[in-house]
Structure 1
Amino acid sequence: MERRNIIIIAAAVVLGLLAVYLTNAYFSGVEAQQERVAEEQQLVRVAVAAQDLEFGSPLTSDTVRLVNWPSQSVPSGAITDMAKFAGTDVAIRPIAQGEPILQSRISNRAVLSENIPDNMRAVTIPVNEVAGVAGFVTPGDVVDVLMTRTIPGGDDEKVTSVVLENAQVIAIDRRASENSTEPQELKMATLLTDQYNAQKLALAAESGRLTLALRNVENQIVGGTQVVTTRDLPGGRLRYSSRSGGGVAPAPSGSAVPYRPSGTAPAGAVSPTYKGPTMTIYRGTEGARQEVNRGTN
């Protein structure tokens, strides 16, 4: 009985080893066949994302796979060796499923500083969450930074100026993903800029309210901006007088405009045409038209 059990166990072990051998041989044969096909068709093995990868996603054999890729169209920086993905690297930019994994999109540290080029700075500023392009500003977008403030001693007149142009957004609040298309409340934005403009942004954040203006990423034209005041708005050149009598007077534009109470006409003004009833009185052959004033008896 014991001998029979030993024989059964030995047979099971042999069959298990045989199954493992055949499985390895099969997959090795498939891999070798794919490599032969790649050589015949001038293809190379390129690492691509096996699934959609977000910022900080680990790169392992479960999330990365090798596929045949035409050798003449291999992207610069593409990875061809799976040994690169030992679980220590992460994605520092979103990578879509089937997209080649490039050296510039991975790092062994999932930190923001890995994305900052030399001589550049990442500065975080508070922005107007309502006017921030309805919440559709996402990492990777390019924006202009506008500042709205009140001029001291200028009758509380507001002005809006461009503080920074063509700045890349590298994070919104705590999000660093470019794939999000859902609008979200925008309170903080991290922009990539040089040190001088980082100082300007820090000062602007303390001086007024900041708003992001989304622009085309291919539009590299900067300059030619102007300061906009309330006078540039429709009806912005009119101001309500605070003196007795009320009335509306034009806002000053370089020279003072004297105050004129309502109901009085300026010198040289043409009197309005009388539109009431009239009568013609003839004295001899000459007639004269007179206005008829309505009164009570």
Structure 2
Amino acid sequence: MRLVFGLVLVAGLGLAGFAVYMAQNYIGAYQSALEQERAKSVQSVPTVQIYVAERAIGYGEPITEEDVRLAHWTKSTLPEVYFDEENPLLVPGDAPRIAVRAIDKNEAIAGTKVSEPGGDAGLTSRLDRGQRAFAIKVDVASGVSGFLRPGDRVDIYWTGRIPGNDPNLPQGDVTKLIQTGVQLIAIDQEANADGSDVNIAQTVTVAASPQVVASLAQAQSTGRLSLSLMAANDDTVAEAIEVDQRSLLGITKKEQKAEAKALEVCTIRTRRGAEVLEIPIPCTN
């Protein structure tokens, strides 16, 4: 019986080992066939290396080398304009490109979604940190006859009437310099400074801090704003300027001196025996 049991055990172990061997061969053949099929599928879909976004890039952001990478992209789905090693997205020494549309992570960098080197994406890319855009209404007189261009700097004057009857305040209309060296970033709806045509603008857009924007909004709602164009290389700061009608015409205010009136003293006379007394009393009309 022991001999029979031993033979059965040996036969069982042999069958088990053979089954494991066959399973390993089958799994190995399957993996090999799968890798071959994958290789065939890669070979059947031609790809090229192009620049894709390494992160999500928002509208108006400059694109740096850390924001992009080269990746394989199928030729059949290439954008009409793309960037690769032969047509690089960023060239050393050139100004960075700006995203004119939002770009998702791992998305191909298409030519329609980025500006030319040194370009911009509109007003938002022209505002520094902490600045806001504010529109000012102008006409042919207050807008320097249409000679303003984006990028120019101007002084802003306010003309209006100060309410109240305080004799210490200026009387009539007053013109005052309220801001100096304010930069223009757009004329009407045009932010391009390359145009040579002279057009009479209806609005100009300036870049300023929130505090200056509040001052300009208050000034525009209470009076008229006029712009004075500064020279391109002018780095002076205008002093405080305020002109009213009297100073414009050279009229000085005469001070009226009140004449001191002599104090009237009224008296009544009272006789006390042989003595006559004069007693002061309040005067009546």
- Give the TM-score, by structure 2 length: 0.48
- Structure possessing the higher relative contact order (Cα contacts under 8 Å, 6 or more residues apart): 2
- Give the TM-score, by structure 1 length: 0.46
